[in-house]
Structure 1
């Protein structure tokens, strides 16, 4: 499952970051994280502080995501005798999440907000890590759908290590655009406005990717694809 699963996890993380209920809030996240402010469509922030605290924030949410991946994989291994059933249920749920993400379904309970709010601004890198952990435990429903899909994939993985790798890949998918866009918007917020125009299309793409992954898991094709990729890599060597 590693090769194709990691691909889905990274792409899922990237598209989660660009979801309509996360990306538009990025300036608020950054100003809260760094203590900066927005004036005349420009963010006033110390860039060294921005770099260090963004990294701390990324480490924070990565810790939570990876821990969730390990937990999901551990639970899946405990239920090893029901692996086929778990994979079928996981595939069905991932498809449902994908349809919801693409806007083809509208289950309100899947869109329930559990985002943690805090008025205490970080004073150092360590507090930025804690803030990242706090946000990860209850981030917006758009991230919840993609994250749940990857967790379901982790629960059907063969080993604990695979679950950790999958959620590490998901975290990486979110971390890279988060860090890059944070730096870009510190110079100008115009980039935010340009990207905002495409958020609905990105949500649709994210939904379609989750649906495809769901069908792969449901049909058992995920393992077959990974096996073929492994064989192909051996021929390359």
Structure 2
């Protein structure tokens, strides 16, 4: 499952960042992290502080995601005797989550969210790590669906390390655009307005990707594809 699963997790992380309930909030999080303020269409801040505290924020949400991945894999190992059933349930749920993300299903209970808010801005790197952890723990519903899908994939993985790799890839997928877009919007907020126009389409793409992933897991094709990729790589070497 390693290669193709990690690819799906990475893409899911990238698209999760551009979800309609996360991306528009980026300026607020940047000002919260750095103590900056918005004036004349740009964020006034200390750029060195932005880089350092953004790194702390990324470390914070990555720690939570990776811990969740390890926990899901651990539970999956306990249920190893029922691995086929676990994979089929996971695949079915991933498809449901994908349909919800794509807007084809509208289950209200999947749109519930739990927010953890902090009233004060971060004062140092440590507090930015805590903010990242709080951000991941109280994640909004449209990201929660993608995250839950990757966790289900981790629960059906062969080893504990695979679950950690999957959620590390998911975290990396979120971290890269977070850093890049944060730097861009610190010069101009026009980028936010331009990308906002495409958020609905990106959510649909994310949902379609999750549906494909769910069918792979449900049908047991994930292992076959990964085995083929592994043998192909060895042959090339």
TM-score range relative to shorter protein: over 0.9
Distance 1:148 1:43 in 2: 33
Corresponding position of 2:8: 8
Corresponding position of 1:21: 21
Distance 2:122 2:181 in 1: 20
Distance 2:125 2:206 in 1: 32
Q: For 2:54, what is the secondary structure of its paired residue? A: helix
Corresponding position of 2:103: 103
**Aligned residue runs from structure 1 range 31-180, under 5 A:** 31-180=31-180
Distance 2:55 2:9 in 1: 20
Q: For 2:77, what is the secondary structure of its paired residue? A: helix
Q: For 1:233, what is the secondary structure of its paired residue? A: helix
Distance 1:121 1:28 in 2: 10
Corresponding position of 2:224: 224
- TM-superposed CA distance for 1:120, in Å, is 2.2
- TM-superposed CA distance for 1:26, in Å, is 0.4
Q: For 1:116, what is the secondary structure of its paired residue? A: coil
Q: Deviations over 1:89-115 (max 9, x none)?
A: 000000000000000000011010112
- TM-superposed CA distance for 1:19, in Å, is 0.3
Q: Give the CA RMSD over aligned residues.
A: 0.5
Distance 1:120 1:131 in 2: 10
- TM-superposed CA distance for 1:138, in Å, is 1.2
Distance 2:53 2:164 in 1: 24
Distance 1:147 1:116 in 2: 17
- TM-superposed CA distance for 1:121, in Å, is 1.4
Bigger CA drift: 118-127 or 176-185?
Answer: 118-127
- TM-superposed CA distance for 1:203, in Å, is 0.3
Distance 1:6 1:124 in 2: 32
Q: Deviations over 1:15-63 (max 9, x none)?
A: 0000000000000111111111101111001100000000000000000
TM-score (norm 1): 0.99
Unaligned 5+ segments in structure 2 are none
Q: For 2:186, what is the secondary structure of its paired residue? A: helix
Distance 2:63 2:218 in 1: 29
Unaligned 5+ segments in structure 1 are none
TM-score (norm 2): 0.99
